[in-house]
Structure 1
Amino acid sequence: MFGFRCMMKAKNGILSRFTLDNNFLCFAFCTFAANLMSSVFGFYYVYYFLDVYKVSHSCFQFAQFLFLIWNAINDPIFGWIQDHSSAKWIRSRQLNILYGAPLFGLSFLYGWFPIYEYFPGSSEYWKCTHLVITLCFWDTMFSFVLLAHCSLFAEVTTDHTSRVRLTQYTRSASICGLFAVPLVEFCYETYGDTGFYVCLIFIAIVATIFMCMTGLYTKSVINRIDELPSADEPSFFSRQYLKLNLEILLNRNFLCFVTMNFLTVGLGHFAANFTKIFSEDLQLFSESKSNKILFFFFNSIGGNSYILLLSPLIMIYGSHMIACASFFLVLLSSVVLYFYRTFAMIVTQIIVLNVVAHGIGGLTDVFVSSLIDEDMVRYKRRLPISSMFFGLNALVTKPAQSLFPMLAVFFLDMTKIENKDGKTVRSQEAIVTLMCVLPMITALLQLIIFTPFRMNIVTASRGGNSTKMQVDLSKDWE
């Protein structure tokens, strides 16, 4: 009997480790839905508009420039509205997600259908207009819904250990969502355009349903609906509003983080947007469609798998040290590729760029949540200004989504060569050079900039009905 009891205790202990947290699971549904759509959008839109719709490179650069501007300014606007609006449905993170989900799904579908063919006049003009609307519509809904989702991350739980655990849920959900890329590639290769469009519509419907589930069932430790803004809440662009932004922007930790994150986001979009193009131009898997699909799939799930595998090390050594070690890995891989331009090293470099950039991007919520907690304690705020933090982070980092692809397209255009048939094509030598030099410079800057960053540990001590948060702020201002 004693042995049986010991065995049952051990079994229950093991099972307790794997008990699902329903609230964390509901929160992760939105991550799953967003990755279903964003992985496909990021993977295909550059290829589709350049190589299928045949949009001119000048038009592409112009659209990226307009997208860069709108991409940067909409997040702070949505951030202020979600934090300071008197309307309950706007103040509630969950209702933002619930009501924004259908439009998010529609914004995903819009770009894949060549609506410009039904308009008279210059085809190039309507193609360019179609690209601009596609990018801006997509980013508007992406920002509105996921800004609320990111802010909810900081309000679902308040301690670092639980946030790392919540990150495990979101990264697992991301991996499930990233099955969309090989699925779409399989449908496209097997059934052509019909399979491609059917698959996209299916993805949009599934994503919308899962986002609505997050909006309906996720619970927060902070009640934002019942606690209306006080009379002294700052109006938009008032002196107090600017003061709030300056308090965030002048924090050394925040500056270190957003500069590093700008480079991470740019490198991540460079890797995601050009993986298919580089694979096609370098003919990496031209003889095997199955190997190509597996390669794309591994690049899609690699970043999230990377964070999941490193979660025990993150618990021990901290998110900051793991991030710096990852930047060093990119730097090392880029240097090796520069001197040894073999097939194996090219494939390895593409994998490293996708894995590290998207993996470290998965820790963004942990870093920003730490900054939000620090700010709330430092300035004794009644409610955390989570959306403003994520909005300002986006203001700085979102332009990288356009700048890095624009830089890559400009470099590849400048180095084009003529093939045997007299056609102008991208130089394979230039592609490999771009693949090692751009990440090499980026990783070196990331190491220099992010090393001084310090994560402040916030603890909650409960006495009676009140919650007191404590943080060691001395290290931030040494």
Structure 2
Amino acid sequence: MAPWPSSPLSCTMCSSFTMWTPLSRCIRSTKQPSGLESLNDPLFGWLSDHRFLSSQPRSGAGFSSRAVVLARVQALGRHGPLLALSFLAFWVPWAPAGLQFLLCLCLYDGFLTLVDLQHHALLADLALSAHDRTHLNFYCSLFSAAGSLSVFASYAFWNKEDFSFFRTFCVALAVGSALGFLGATQLLRQRVEEARRDTGCSALAGDGGEELLFGGEEAGSVTLGQYLRQLVRHQNFLWFVGMDLVQVFHCHFNSNFFPLFLEHLLSDHISLSTGSFLLGISYVAPHLNNLYFLPLCRRWGVYAVVRGLFLLKLGLSLLMLLAGPDHPGLLCFFIASNRVFTEGTCKLLTLVVTDLVDEDLVLNHRKQAASALLFGMVALVTKPGQTFAPLLGTWLLCFYTGHDLFQQPPVISVGSTQPWPEPPAPAPAQAPTLRQGCFYLLVLVPITCALLQLLTWSQFTLHGRRLHMVKAQRQSLAQVQTLDIKTV
């Protein structure tokens, strides 16, 4: 059985991209996080936001909302081009191969974490209302889908015998991304400055806001230990990260086993080109999917939409379990929709984290929200799901079928730099066993994840009346140093 060819950018491109560049989650999607890498998010979040953690700031001292936004935009303007440069460093030989790969991987992951945290924090700092945040997220998904088209464009330049054209493509992609970061951050900075001048705000004029952003510590600042104790008492944060841990596990389970399901469940019914197309479209479809779900979030709320997606995942999985593996059309729809809806849900959860930022500010009476730090703490708690997804899935398959993926000759599979081994040619009596094992793995994992998520999500109370109350309190706290998103 011949495997489907992998995408030429499968080792460098993935499904999530920032609003400015198609490089935002390259490479990182294909590797599992180590313990040190998992600490990047909270570490960089703490370095970025620890000055904002002041429960009782000195009278007259504070952080203008515009100053916080400008600091994040300035960080994106610095780190974005460096992210593109670290991507480019993979494709230009400049050191021994092993050393170059190690250094580039560390640099890329570091700059990617910085860009991700500041980009997500901007969503929480630019807008306060749920309507404005879903509006921003809508355009982010739109441009992310456009950036994901680079996966398809890479096919025109890929030649495993001659990398020169592909390297040229990577250079052009990196240069375009770096210029995009510089241009977008400069335009956003100008809009924020224009809004400040229009409203007559002087927080950023001269030495006020900028000195506070980069100066010494304020009296009454919160230590990391105190912040962690505050998070432990934040019940909605705990329920959310429990649910999100399962969601991250499911997303990476789909990413790792998507080629295996195609090969063993659908290879007799679809062509190689169709398999490659399903892989490519799975990177773009979640962004397009959000263009439909975000308006529903504005109407019904993110909580209700996410709960509906969990119920949909459970319903489709039960239907597929009852139908069995002998319906290729339904099976193809389920494999694709399961991946698309799961990835789409991950993108909607960013809006929930912004609500948690608001609640954290209100509960702990902060002067300014520590948005990047909270996003970093969420990433720290949920990243183990990335590691356990391939390990648990491989163990379950081996336990049920006796087929060990790691003891077979490796071949390149669809959309992963980690090649899935080619199974040995089994005897006719053994052939259904592996196929049946893949089928049960395909349907039982989503059922289990959906049940766990519905249980934890039912305990999450930051919606409805409580969410409106939190929003109103943050609005009142921000009236003195307001930032009107409509002017930005």
Normalised by the length of structure 2, the TM-score is 0.71
SS in 1 for 2:140: helix
1:296 is displaced (CA, Å) by: 2.5
Contact in 2 for aligned 1:408/1:434 (Cα 8 Å)? yes
1:328 match: 311
CA distance in 1, matches of 2:242, 2:178: 32
Aligned position for 2:116? 146
Aligned to 1:431: 438
Task: Name the structure 2 match of 1:181.
Answer: 151
For residues 114 and 435 of structure 1, the distance between their equivalents in structure 2, rounded to whole angstroms, comes to: 40
Matched, 1:76 2:42: yes
**1:142 CA displacement:** 1.6
Is 1:31 the counterpart of 2:18? The answer is yes
Deviations 1:236-268 (A, max 9, x none): xxx832111221232111111111111212222
Alpha-carbon spacing, 1:427–1:386, altered in 2? closer, same or farther (3 Å): same
Say what the alpha-carbon RMSD is for the aligned residues.
3.9
Letter in 2 for 1:379: N
* Code of the aligned partner of 1:395: L
Distance 1:321 1:301 in 2: 24
Q: 1:265 to 1:114 in 2, by over 3 A?
A: farther
1:105 aligned to which of 60, 77, 84: 84
Within 2, Cα distance between the matches of 1:338 and 1:278? 15
1:112-151: CA deviation from partner (whole Å, max 9, x where unpaired): 78999x56xxxxxx5xx87766654433222111111111
Q: Cα–Cα, structure 1 residues 176 and 285, in superposed 2: closer, same or farther, change >3 Å?
A: farther
Mapped to 1, the partners of 2:158 and 2:264 lie a distance apart of: 19
Q: Is the 8 A contact 2:94 2:100 kept in 1?
A: yes
- Please give the alpha-carbon distance, in whole angstroms, between the structure 2 residues aligned to 1:399 and 1:34: 27
Structure 2 CA distance for partners of 1:110 and 1:329, relative to 1, 3 Å: farther
For each residue in 1:425-456, what CA deviation from the matched residue of structure 2 results, as whole angstroms up to 9, or x when unmatched? 99433332222222221111111111221231
Aligned to 1:300: 283
Counterpart in the other structure of 1:207: 177
Task: Please name the residue that 2:188 is paired with.
Answer: 218
Does 2:431 correspond to 1:448? no
User: Shift of the alpha carbon at 1:309?
Assistant: 0.8
Cα distance change of structure 1 residues 233 and 305 upon mapping to structure 2, 3 Å threshold: farther
SS at 1:182's partner residue?
helix
Deviation at 1:166, TM superposition (A): 0.6
8 Å contact from structure 1 (residues 85, 91) kept in 2: no
Which runs of 5 or more residues in structure 2 are unaligned?
1-15, 53-66, 196-202, 405-422, 484-488
Partner letter of residue 402 of structure 1?
Answer: T
Counterpart check, 1:419 vs 2:450: no
Structure 2 matches for 1:38-437, cutoff 5 A? Answer: 38=25, 42=29, 45=30, 64=32, 67-84=33-50, 92-109=71-88, 136-185=106-155, 187-188=157-158, 193-219=163-189, 225-228=210-213, 231-232=217-218, 240-282=223-265, 284=267, 288=271, 290-339=273-322, 340-341=324-325, 342-412=327-397, 415-416=403-404, 418-419=424-425, 427-437=434-444
Output the CA distance in 2 between the equivalents of 1:182 and 1:412. 32
Equivalent AA in structure 2 for residue 450 of structure 1: W
Using the TM superposition, name which of 101-110 and 263-272 deviates more: 101-110
Q: Distance in 1 between matches of 2:427 and 2:167?
A: 34
Judging changes above 3 Å, is the alpha-carbon distance between structure 1 residues 74 and 91 closer, same or farther for their aligned structure 2 residues?
farther
Query: Would you say the 8 A contact 1:279–1:285 is kept in 2?
Result: no
Q: Secondary structure at the match of 1:38?
A: coil
Do the aligned residues in 1 keep the contact of 2:158 with 2:165 (CA within 8 Å)?
yes
TM-score by length of 1: 0.73
Count of matched residue positions in the alignment of Structure 1 and Structure 2? 406
Structure 1 Cα separation of the partners of residues 40 and 436 of structure 2: 38
* Structure 2 Cα separation of the partners of residues 297 and 315 of structure 1: 29
Contact 1:91 1:225 in 2 (8 A): no
1-side partners of 2:310 and 2:268: how far apart? Answer: 28
Change (3 A) 1:276 1:313: same
Q: Which amino acid aligns with 2:436?
A: E
State the shift of 1:405 in Å: 2.4
Q: What is the CA deviation profile of residues 358-409 of structure 1, one whole-angstrom value per residue up to 9, with x for unaligned ones?
A: 2111123311111111222222211111121111101111222222123234
Higher normalized contact order (CA 8 Å, seq sep 6+, divided by chain length): 2
The 1:463/1:36 distance shift into structure 2, 3 A limit, reads closer
**Residues 299-308 or 266-275, more deviating:** 266-275
Displacement of 1:285: 8.3
Unaligned runs of 5+ in 1: 1-28, 47-63, 120-125, 470-478
Q: Which amino acid aligns with 2:42?
A: P
Rounded Cα–Cα distance in structure 2 between residues aligned with 1:145 and 1:226: 23
Counterparts in 2 of 1:329 and 1:390: CA distance versus 1, 3 Å: same
